[in-house]
């Protein structure tokens, strides 16, 4: 009898152990974001977390304060935490090498989020917007705004690009520069400072203050009399909103107002910049709906974890391999369509964008 009881006990125990093992524990997904300094990444993180959790995954979301070492150790922790998919919006796309290899060895699938992971074979997929197209939208805006195809006039332009360690920055700049280059070549556009190569116009870490300081120098060096009938400045082609904000602050401090400020381009539709558009201080931005990017990424995570075919529509060369990518579409935004794009779609509330003097 004793024997029977113990056999039964063992049976019951093993059965319950089996049930515990087979009860689906939620799969874990690590999401490594670069910084909370810029509004767009906060939105990206929030959207990813919300949508992944709704799909039944457990999410480990971390922000690295724009510090590569912090991001590496956050990813190491995510691996210890046994994530099955890693979504990384890098700070420096080429600086994560060994931790990505560790991920590979642990069988973790790596998705580069918005920023490509470069110089490594240990990246599986990439979700982003068409980054070259973002630049083309900015450049085409300038071409159309000044009717460069038909005008006999000459307009002046200065360039501000993004961070040299971000693969996107070169693509944004190339898309914009290639679009306006015919008009620099035929003299309808003139860059008075002569600063047209990416390295010279780049803004490390995309910092507004850095873009502002560089614009201060350009203004005092080449456009000091712009407001008193001297050399005028017509266009500031900026790659994104954080750099556009710095450039706008510089121009406003110099004395420009909504009435005479140069045409400034941007990207992201950050709140401060959208307010500037409403006030006539920034001409346009490019809206990249982070909800759409999160949705595409969550869909990809689902495809990976269920063993389904992963849908991609582009590839990006990362220096070592062509990374299969899913590109979302960037959209032109200005004062005429911002309400529909941003408020009616629920991206921001009207109060978010209310301008208070
Ligand atoms: C993103 C931009 C953003 C910039 C600065 C880029 O990688 O694609 O949307 O403005 O980083 O954070």
Q: Which of 112, 118, 127, 206 to mutate to test the pocket of ligand 1 (most atoms within 8 A of CB)?
A: 206
Q: Where are the alpha helices (DSSP H) in 116-166?
A: 131-145
Distance 168 CA to ligand 1 centre (A): 7
pLDDT tens readout for residues 274-310? 999 999 999 999 999 999 999 999 999 999 999 999 9
Residue with tokens 């005008």: 151
> What is the 240 CA–ligand 1 centroid distance (Å)?
7
81 with 156, same domain: the answer is no
Tell me, what's the pLDDT at 39?
A: 87
300 shares its domain with 243: no
- The best mutation among 240, 247, 329 to test binding of ligand 1, ranked by most ligand atoms within 8 Å of the C-beta, falls on 240
Report, as an integer, the average pLDDT of 101-118.
97
CA distance 295 to 51: 7
Burial class (CB in 10 A: 0-12, 13-18, 19+), 334: middle
The chain-wide mean pLDDT, for the chain, equals 94
**The predicted structure's pLDDT at residue 257:** 98
Domain match, 141 and 268 both: yes
30's enclosing H/E stretch is strand 28-33
92 and 211 together in one domain: no
* pLDDT beyond 90 at 16: no
- Tracing tokens 């590496």 back to the chain, one arrives at 72
Structure confidence at residue 19 (pLDDT): 47
Spatial separation of the C-alpha atoms in residues 287 and 129, rounded to whole Å: 10
**Structural domain for 172, as ranges:** 131-288+333-343
- Report pTM: 0.90
199 alpha carbon to ligand 1 midpoint, in Å? Answer: 17
Structure token pair of residue 339: 């309400």
In the numeric block, which tokens belong to residue 245?
């904000």
- 324, 212: one domain: no
Tell me the CA distances in angstroms from 61 to 42, 44, 54, 75, one per residue in order: 11, 11, 15, 10
Going by pLDDT thresholds of 50, 70 and 90, the confidence category of residue 245 is: very high
Angle in degrees, CA 73, 327, 304, rounded to 5:
60
Ligand 1: atom nearest CA of 128 is 8
Q: Which residues contact residue 29 at a Cβ distance below 8 angstroms, ignoring those fewer than 6 apart? A: 52, 57, 58, 59, 60, 83, 84, 85, 86, 87, 301
Residues 241 and 294 in one domain: no
CA–CA distance, 181 with 126 (Å, rounded to integer): 29
Q: Is the model's pLDDT at 21 over the cut of 80?
A: no
Centre of ligand 1 to C-alpha 289, Å, is: 12
7 within some domain: no
Number of structural domains (the chain) is 2
Confirm whether 228 is domain-assigned: yes
């Amino acid at each position: 009898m004793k024997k029977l009881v113990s056999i039964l006990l063992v049976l019951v125990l093993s059965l319950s152990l089996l049930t515990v093992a087979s009860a689906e524990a939620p799969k874990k997904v690590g999401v490594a974001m670069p910084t909370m300094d810029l509004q767009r990444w906060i939105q990206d993180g929030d959207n990813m977390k919300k949508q992944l959790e709704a799909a039944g995954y457990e999410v480990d979301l971390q922000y690295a304060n724009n510090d590569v070492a912090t991001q590496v150790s956050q990813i190491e922790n995510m691996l210890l935490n046994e994530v099955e998919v890693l979504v990384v919006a890098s700070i420096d796309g080429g600086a994560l090498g060994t931790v990505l290899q560790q991920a590979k060895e642990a069988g973790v699938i790596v998705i580069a989020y918005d920023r490509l992971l470069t110089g490594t074979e240990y990246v599986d997929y990439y979700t982003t917007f068409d980054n070259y197209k973002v630049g083309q939208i900015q450049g085409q805006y300038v071409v159309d705004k000044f009717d460069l195809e038909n005008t006999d006039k000459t307009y002046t332009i200065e360039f501000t690009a993004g961070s040299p360690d971000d693969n996107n920055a070169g693509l944004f700049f190339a898309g914009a520069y290639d679009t306006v280059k015919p008009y620099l070549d035929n003299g309808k556009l003139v860059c008075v400072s002569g600063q047209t190569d990416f390295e010279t116009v780049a803004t490390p870490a995309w910092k507004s203050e850095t873009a502002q300081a560089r614009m201060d120098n350009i203004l005092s060096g080449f456009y000091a009399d712009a407001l008193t009938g001297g050399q005028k400045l017509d266009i500031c082609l900026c790659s994104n909103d954080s750099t556009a904000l710095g450039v706008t602050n510089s121009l406003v401090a110099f004395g420009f107002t909504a009435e005479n400020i140069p045409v400034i381009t941007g990207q992201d539709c950050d709140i401060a910049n959208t307010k500037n558009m409403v006030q006539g201080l920034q001409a346009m931005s490019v809206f990249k709906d982070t909800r759409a990017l999160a949705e595409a990424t969550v869909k990809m995570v689902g495809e990976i974890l269920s063993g389904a075919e992963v849908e991609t529509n582009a590839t990006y060369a990362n220096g070592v391999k062509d990374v299969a990518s899913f590109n979302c579409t960037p959209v032109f935004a200005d004062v005429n369509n911002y309400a529909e794009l941003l408020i009616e779609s629920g991206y921001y509330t009207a109060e978010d964008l209310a301008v208070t003097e």
